[in-house]
Amino acid sequence: MGNPTIPADYLMTKLSEAKTHFERALDCKHTEFDDLYPYMIEHPQFFWYKRYVAWSELLTLVKLCTELSIEWEQQFSKQQTEYIKKRVMSSKVLDEWFETNDSKEHVG
């Protein structure tokens, strides 16, 4: 089988996709998760779970980048990087991921 190497640009693309997924979950927009579990929309805990899944995906990709010595922080603001390094998806992360209300750059 050899020693397969994962290209850094591939991981950066996946990290960018995970960031977008998390941000769409924060904004309560449609994600791939909605297609996988359409019945969950009827349950109040759905959005918390959806956000948790997206956060976990983001942290997993950051962990892979870190282990492979791939610089990942440039895709995030300083504050977002701090949230990721703390690893806990707190209410502060949910409320302040986009920095301030004036500079929100929500995903489309």
Q: What is the pLDDT of residues 39-65, one digit of tens each?
A: 777 777 788 888 999 999 999 999 999
Whole-prediction pTM: 0.81
Q: Reply yes or no on whether the pLDDT at 100 is more than 70.
A: no
Structure tokens at 17: 């996709």
Burial 47-66 (b: 16+ CB within 10 A, else e): eeebbebbbebbbebbeebe
The pLDDT, as a whole number, for residue 103 is 46
Domain locations in the chain as residue ranges: 8-100
What's the mean pLDDT when you consider all of the chain?
Answer: 86
